């Protein structure tokens, strides 16, 4: 059996550790995600979803337990190593697009590679154009974000998240600001990349319609996994 993309072992996260105000948010989370997984993370406000997402994205470190990304233990990594592993292996899509207004759609897609490698080469540009074509924006690659609709901007953000072919895609309320049709289009794009590129997808959402169409729903309540259910 192949190594899962992501494996959590008894992950805990507390703040103000050792002080009278110490507060534990996550209480021993154990979880695995495989490349084929297309999962939703749901739960009420205050359940710890954002805290868990920050840990999964290597934006924060757990208080105890271990997080393995592609078989690499991550809790003891220094900031430089954690940043490098995150840049190579994880794509992020947020509710707000965070596109750079002065850049074209293509330049925004290329941004993760430009940060790591400097000026993009021909192969990188071709990859960006292929992704923009895949998300239906081949004719919009030279337009700035202000010339795109909200749904189009979100599709640029998805292409940007996939430019480095990540093993894991984390999406935080990715359809929260979109109309029903645009949200459906974004969801289908996630499906396509999960299927075609073997990219594990985890979507944090409050939308029960979205979570109901995922293959797996992980419910977090009070910092614990209350249910981990796969569709029949």
Tell me which residue of 33, 41, 91 sits closest to 211, measured CA to CA: 41
Nearest 5 degrees, angle CA 40-CA 6-CA 185?
35
Q: Provide the whole-model pTM.
A: 0.87
Nearest to 225 by CA among 42, 39, 34: 42
Q: Sketch out the chain's domains with CATH numbers.
A: 34-63+83-230 (3.40.50.300)
DSSP classification of residue 145: G
142, pLDDT greater than 90: yes
Q: Which has the higher per-residue pLDDT, 90 or 193?
A: 90
pLDDT tens per residue, range 50-65: 999 999 999 999 999 9
Does 179 have pLDDT greater than 80? no
Sign of the C-alpha dihedral computed for residues 92, 98, 104 and 105 taken in this order: positive
Distance of CA 168 to the CA centre of its chain: 7
Chain segment 8-48, per-residue pLDDT in tens: 999 999 998 888 888 999 999 999 999 999 999 999 988 99
């Amino acid at each position: 059996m192949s190594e899962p993309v992501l494996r959590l072992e008894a992950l805990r996260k507390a703040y103000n550790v050792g002080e009278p105000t110490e507060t534990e948010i996550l209480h021993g989370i154990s979880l695995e995600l495989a490349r084929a997984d297309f999962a939703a993370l749901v739960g009420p406000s205050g359940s710890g979803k954002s805290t868990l997402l920050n840990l999964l994205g290597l934006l924060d470190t757990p208080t105890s337990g271990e997080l393995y990304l592609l078989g690499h233990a991550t809790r003891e990594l220094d900031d430089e190593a954690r940043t490098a592993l995150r840049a190579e292996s994880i794509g992020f899509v947020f509710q707000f697009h965070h596109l750079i207004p002065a850049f074209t759609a293509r330049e925004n897609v290329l941004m993760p590679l430009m940060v790591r490698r400097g000026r993009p080469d021909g192969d990188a540009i071709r990859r960006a154009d292929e992704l923009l074509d895949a998300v239906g924006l081949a004719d919009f690659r030279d337009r700035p974000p202000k010339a795109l609709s909200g749904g189009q901007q979100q599709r640029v953000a998805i292409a940007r998240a996939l430019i480095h072919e990540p093993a894991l895609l984390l999406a935080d309320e990715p359809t929260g600001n979109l109309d029903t049709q645009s949200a459906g289009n974004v969801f289908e794009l996630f499906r396509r990349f999960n299927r075609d590129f073997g990219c594990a997808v985890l979507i944090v959402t409050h939308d029960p319609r979205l979570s109901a169409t995922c293959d797996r729903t992980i419910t977090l309540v009070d910092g614990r996994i209350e249910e981990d259910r796969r569709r029949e």
